[in-house]
């Protein structure tokens, strides 16, 4: 397994070892000790799965108080997964990271607490599974508009399909007072 940090501290790209033979393949999608050694120390308390059609964008979502870290992978299809740093006080505030995750590349991404998260579906459909470090609390959810020009995400799709909540979400600069402050 290879675990690689990216330019935004805390985000890790995981490439598990895939063992193939004439019967098919095998891989570990999670191994607590190995992930812990690589810096993923938060316990996971909830697993989620979503299925979405091509050109759907889900996000950008986070929680205010009980922030969630997420370990994301795709079991069917391909997505462009995005995380935006919303930890006020850090030099990476407002910066985003994107990566293609698919059933073929087996990559995972760990996004620590303090980020909004979303993804765009690149294939005909995609099933995404992710582990969370805290429970989902709808009353805690914040959403930031997917096409905020101050963030400037290249979602790699045209004519996205959006929920009303995501389409009408506030811009990052409109939710500053509810974002976490982190001392650098």
In the 8-state DSSP scheme, what is residue 49? E
**Residues with Cβ within 8 Å of residue 106, at least 6 apart in sequence:** 15, 16, 18, 27, 73
In the 8-state DSSP scheme, what is residue 77? S
Q: List phi, psi (to 5°) of 36.
A: -60, -45
* Regions of the chain short of the pLDDT cut 50: none
**Residues with Cβ within 8 Å of residue 46, at least 6 apart in sequence:** 131, 132, 134, 135, 136
What's the predicted TM-score (pTM) here?
Answer: 0.94
Topology annotation, domain 2-178: Jelly Rolls (2.60.120)
Give me the pLDDT at residue 66, please.
Answer: 84
Catalytically annotated residue among 35, 61, 80, 117: 61
Query: Closest Cα to residue 79, out of 50, 107, 121?
Result: 121
- Annotated catalytic residue 61: yes
| Cβ neighbours around 178 below 10 Å, total | 13
3-state secondary structure of 48: strand
Give me the pLDDT at residue 51, please.
Answer: 98
My answer on whether omega of the bond before 7 falls inside 30° of 0, hence cis, is no
Q: How far apart are CA 33 and CA 38, in angstroms?
A: 9
- Annotated catalytic residue 80: no
- Greatest alpha-carbon pair distance for the chain in Å reads 56
CA-CA distances (angstroms) from residue 77 to 41, 80, 116, 121, 122?
29, 11, 22, 8, 8
In the 8-state DSSP scheme, what is residue 33? H
Give me the pLDDT at residue 183, please.
Answer: 60
| Boundaries of every domain in the chain | 2-178
Task: Tell me the average pLDDT of the chain.
Answer: 95
Give me the pLDDT at residue 179, please.
Answer: 87
């Amino acid at each position: 397994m290879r675990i690689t940090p990216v330019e935004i501290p805390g985000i890790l790209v995981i490439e598990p070892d895939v063992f193939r033979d004439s019967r098919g393949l095998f891989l570990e999608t999670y191994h607590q000790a190995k992930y812990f050694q690589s810096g993923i120390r938060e316990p996971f308390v909830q697993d989620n799965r979503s299925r979405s059609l091509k050109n759907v964008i889900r996000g950008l979502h986070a929680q205010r108080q009980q922030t969630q870290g997420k370990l994301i992978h795709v079991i069917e299809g391909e997505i462009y997964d995005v995380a935006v740093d919303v930890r006020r006080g850090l030099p990476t505030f407002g910066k985003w990271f994107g990566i293609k995750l698919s059933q073929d590349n087996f990559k995972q991404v760990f996004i620590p607490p303090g980020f909004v998260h979303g993804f765009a579906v690149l294939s005909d459909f995609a099933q995404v599974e992710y582990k969370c470090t805290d429970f989902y609390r709808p009353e805690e959810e914040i959403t930031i508009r997917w096409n905020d020009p101050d963030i400037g995400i290249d979602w790699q799709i045209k004519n996205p399909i959006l929920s009303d909540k995501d389409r009408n979400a506030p811009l990052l600069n409109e939710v500053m007072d509810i974002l976490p402050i982190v001392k650098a």
